[in-house]
């Protein structure tokens, strides 16, 4: 899933500290994708502040709290980075300065909740923005499709490894 994304993106990062930052962000994204595979999104808890973060997101950005929650399902980077959006997000983000570790550290997030991480479906946000959107997506049922994709990908990967192991065992057995 992220191997292709990382290969495509890594050629753009040459400065060592930026590379370390990017590696951490990719590792965090891979960890989250693995969680989506193993845990039903509605049961996933990302922080001890999930309730507060969710309520704060919906109160601060009432436009996100409109069914069918398209602005949470499909992120609009231009809206988030507009002058008004930057100010609103800055205030939201800074309110977690003393609560959430690495609250302003960069994280990768899928722009479309119904798809997996990939070069055209990923943007950088702060860690608290990642938490806010993913907590909302999980609670509102918007990550169900991603969960299905992650489960299917894991099953395909497992079948592939089993097939390779069987072929290797057969090859080893024929040499005896």
| 175 part of a folded domain | no
CA atoms of 134 and 163, how far apart (whole Å): 35
| 14 part of a folded domain | yes
- Residues in Cβ contact with 36 at an 8 Å cutoff, skipping those fewer than 6 apart: 44, 143, 146, 147, 150
| 173 part of a folded domain | no
| 54 part of a folded domain | yes
CB hemisphere CA count around 58 (13 angstroms): 15
SS3 for 125?
strand
Whether the bond into 68 is cis, omega within 30 of 0:
yes
CA atoms of 127 and 84, how far apart (whole Å): 20
pLDDT number for residue 8: 45
| 80 part of a folded domain | yes
CATH number, position 122: 1.10.3560.10
- pLDDT band of 176, cuts 50, 70, 90: low
* Structure-derived torsion over alpha carbons of residues 73, 76, 81, 86, reported in degrees to the nearest 10: -40
Is residue 39 pLDDT above 90, yes or no? Answer: yes
Phi-psi region of 109 (alpha: psi -120 to 50; beta: other; left: phi over 0): beta
User: 15: burial class by Cβ within 10 Å (0-12, 13-18, 19+)?
Assistant: exposed
Structural domains in the chain (count): 1
| 79 part of a folded domain | yes
Candidates 12, 17, 15, 14; CA nearest to 106 is 17
Boundaries of domain holding 66: 2-156
pTM of the shown model:
0.86
Model confidence pLDDT, tens digit, residues 79-114: 999 999 999 999 999 999 999 999 999 999 999 999
| 166 part of a folded domain | no
| 47 part of a folded domain | yes
Is residue 123 pLDDT above 90, yes or no? Answer: yes
């Amino acid at each position: 899933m992220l191997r292709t994304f990382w290969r495509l993106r890594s050629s753009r990062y040459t400065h060592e500290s930026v590379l370390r930052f990017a590696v951490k962000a990719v590792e965090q994204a891979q960890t989250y994708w693995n969680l989506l595979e193993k845990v039903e999104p509605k049961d996933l808890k990302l922080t001890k502040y999930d309730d507060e973060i969710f309520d704060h997101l919906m109160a601060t950005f009432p436009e996100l709290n409109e069914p069918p929650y398209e602005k949470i399902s499909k992120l609009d980077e231009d809206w988030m980075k507009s002058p008004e959006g930057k100010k609103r997000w800055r205030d939201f983000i800074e309110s977690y300065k003393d609560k959430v570790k690495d609250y302003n550290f960069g994280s990768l997030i899928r722009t479309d909740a119904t798809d997996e991480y990939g070069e055209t479906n990923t943007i950088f946000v702060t860690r608290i923005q990642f938490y806010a959107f993913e907590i909302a997506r999980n609670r509102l049922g918007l990550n169900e499709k991603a969960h299905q994709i992650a489960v299917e990908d894991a099953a395909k990967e497992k079948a592939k490894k089993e097939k390779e192991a069987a072929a290797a065992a057969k090859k080893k057995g024929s040499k005896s």
